[in-house]
């Protein structure tokens, strides 16, 4: 039987950060993972460059049943703290857009940085571990694998969500929470492409690859970014963002020309080029292949602009400013970046991340019901919640 002060299950972003902080406090820390290497999601994140934080991260960028829960951790370990760590390790980075910070070279720089901090804090790491059971007695947790049992005073669950099962994602953390009497809120894939209804697929799959700047809206939440048509449905940052707010049956309202007043544009075109066809005028605003599809769908009739009257101009403008898609579903955990829902924050202390009903048991990172927007926010939550737990576990 091995004896540890702290065992952390999951060597992803949150687990690594927690291990470093607990190790710095002199705790004997063991970090366990089921994979062959640590930080696998970090390595593939941000197209291999890891969007490691966001300069504008704040509680408003997160979804949670209790929107106040994340405030404490986010304010105690901020994006500027993580940026300072990146700078300390002389990792070159840049802002891509909207405060999103990426490595100049490779996401591996972030994993190497965390590993070097973990080594300095004397954290031990055991990979390819298949945990067969966890029990609690006499103030100690026993974590059992096929090979051996290990005991600890503090058990930190950092096993992440369900997305990308082929990368080691399991429901372990949610099951463990339930085993110890914590509630798990319903789970669903988020930051995920939306899929076509069969009728839309027949029309739009032909323009797969077309992308345009839009605003995408679901139930009053709006994101301005790019939208991409794919063979399977809609993707691109605007759609990934809005997918976190989408529930089956909801419509997605897309403004295809958010920067332009289409009615004013068409009236001006009509005055300047009365003989020009509507589709030629619209192709100045939207990708040509999309305009052809809109024509096929009878969103407009192709005729000289001079044939339009103010009412028909307004109708066409309205349909482009609020085009309604009704997705069939999402691509699910196979491609989702994150899992919404998870361990109910009512059962956790926002100051320490410890379970209120179970001393010494902590939950951090994506396993908790706190989900960030696209853009570095999810890693910031992993760093912040991991850092906080690392001060107490």
Contact positions vs ligand FDA (CB under 6 A): 9-15, 32-35, 40-41, 44-46, 50-51, 129, 131, 158-160, 163-164, 168-170, 172, 337-338, 365-366, 376-379, 382
CB of 41 to ligand FDA, least distance (A): 4
Closer CB to ligand FDA, residue 192 or residue 316?
A: 192
Nearest residue to 56 (alpha-carbon basis) of 337, 385, 380, 388:
380
User: 253 has which bridge partners?
Assistant: 217, 324
CB of 6 to ligand FDA, least distance (A): 15
**Integer CA distances (angstroms), 170 to 26, 128, 181, in order:** 30, 14, 19
CB contact at 8 A, 323 and 234: no
Nearer Cβ to ligand FDA, position 64 or 129?
A: 129
Distances, alpha carbon 188 to alpha carbons 184, 245, 333, 335, 367, in Å? 12, 11, 8, 12, 12
Residue corresponding to tokens 């309205």: 318
Contact 38, 115 (CB under 8 A): yes
- Complex with ligand FDA: residue 282 or 370, whichever CB lies closer: 370
Describe the crossing of helices 79-88 and 108-120 by its angle, rounded to 10 degrees. Answer: 90
> For ligand FDA, which residue has the nearest CB?
12
Listed residue (109, 124, 120) closest to 48, CA to CA: 109
Q: How far is the CB of 45 from ligand FDA (least distance, A)?
A: 3
CB of 11 to ligand FDA, least distance (A): 5
Smallest distance from the beta carbon of 236 to ligand FDA, in angstroms?
Answer: 15
Tokens of 45: 């994140």
- The answer to whether 337 touches 374, Cβ cutoff 8 Å, is yes
Nearer to ligand FDA, 269 or 371 (CB): 371
Say how far apart CA 238 and CA 223 lie, in whole Å.
6
Half-sphere CA count of 388, side-chain side, radius 13 A: 27
Q: Look at the block and give the residue holding tokens 């998870």.
A: 342
Of the pair 227, 384, the CB lying nearest ligand FDA is at 384
What's the rounded Cα separation, in Å, for the pair 382 and 16?
9
DSSP code at position 318: H
**Complex with ligand FDA: residue 45 or 270, whichever CB lies closer:** 45
Instruction: Kindly state the smallest distance separating residue 103's Cβ from ligand FDA, in Å.
Output: 10
CB of 89 to ligand FDA, least distance (A): 18
In this complex, which beta carbon is closest to ligand FDA, that of residue 74 or of residue 257? Answer: 74
Contact (Cβ atoms closer than 8 angstroms) between residue 205 and residue 196: yes
Q: Which is nearer to ligand FDA, 11 or 313 (CB)?
A: 11
Residue with Cβ nearer ligand FDA (217 or 366): 366
Least separation in angstroms between residue 336's CB and ligand FDA is: 7
To 5 degrees, how large is the angle CA 370–CA 372–CA 377? 125
Beta bridge partners of 235: 228
Query: Minimum Å distance from CB 221 to ligand FDA?
Result: 19
């Amino acid at each position: 039987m091995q004896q540890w002060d702290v065992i952390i299950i999951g060597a992803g972003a949150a687990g690594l950060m927690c291990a470093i902080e607990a190790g710095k406090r002199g705790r004997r820390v063991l970090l366990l993972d089921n994979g062959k290497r640590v930080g696998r999601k970090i390595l593939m994140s941000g197209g291999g460059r890891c969007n490691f934080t966001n300069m504008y991260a704040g509680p408003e960028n997160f979804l949670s049943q209790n929107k106040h829960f994340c405030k404490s951790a986010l304010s105690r370990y901020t994006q500027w703290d993580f940026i300072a760590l990146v700078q300390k390790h002389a990792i070159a980075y840049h802002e891509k857009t909207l405060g999103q910070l990426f490595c100049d070279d490779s996401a591996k720089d972030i994993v190497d940085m965390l590993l070097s901090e973990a080594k300095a804090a004397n954290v031990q790491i055991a990979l390819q571990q298949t945990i067969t059971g966890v029990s609690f007695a006499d103030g100690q947790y026993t974590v059992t694998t096929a090979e051996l049992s290990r005991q600890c005073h503090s058990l930190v669950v950092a096993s992440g969500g369900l997305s990308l099962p082929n990368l080691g994602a399991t429901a372990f953390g949610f099951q463990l929470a339930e085993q110890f009497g914590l509630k798990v809120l319903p789970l669903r894939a988020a930051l995920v492409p939306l899929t076509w209804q069969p009728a839309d697929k027949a029309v739009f799959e032909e323009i797969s690859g077309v992308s345009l700047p839009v605003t995408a809206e679901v139930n009053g939440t709006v994101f301005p970014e790019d939208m991409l048509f794919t063979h399977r449905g809609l993707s691109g940052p605007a759609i990934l963002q809005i997918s976190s707010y989408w529930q089956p049956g909801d419509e997605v309202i897309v403004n295809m020309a958010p920067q332009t007043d289409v009615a004013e544009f068409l009236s001006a075109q009509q005055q300047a080029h009365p003989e020009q066809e509507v589709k030629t005028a619209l192709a100045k605003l939207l990708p040509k292949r999309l305009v052809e599809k809109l024509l096929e769908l009878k969103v407009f009739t192709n005729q000289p602009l001079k044939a339009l009257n103010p009412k028909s101009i307004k109708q066409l403008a309205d349909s482009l400013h609020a085009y309604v898609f009704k997705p069939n579903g999402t691509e699910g955990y196979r491609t989702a970046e994150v899992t919404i829902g998870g361990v109910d924050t009512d059962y956790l202390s926002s100051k320490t991340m410890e379970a209120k009903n179970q001393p010494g048991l902590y939950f951090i990172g994506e396993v908790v019901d706190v989900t960030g927007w696209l853009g570095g926010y999810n890693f910031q939550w992993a760093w912040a919640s991991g850092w906080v737990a690392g001060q107490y576990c």
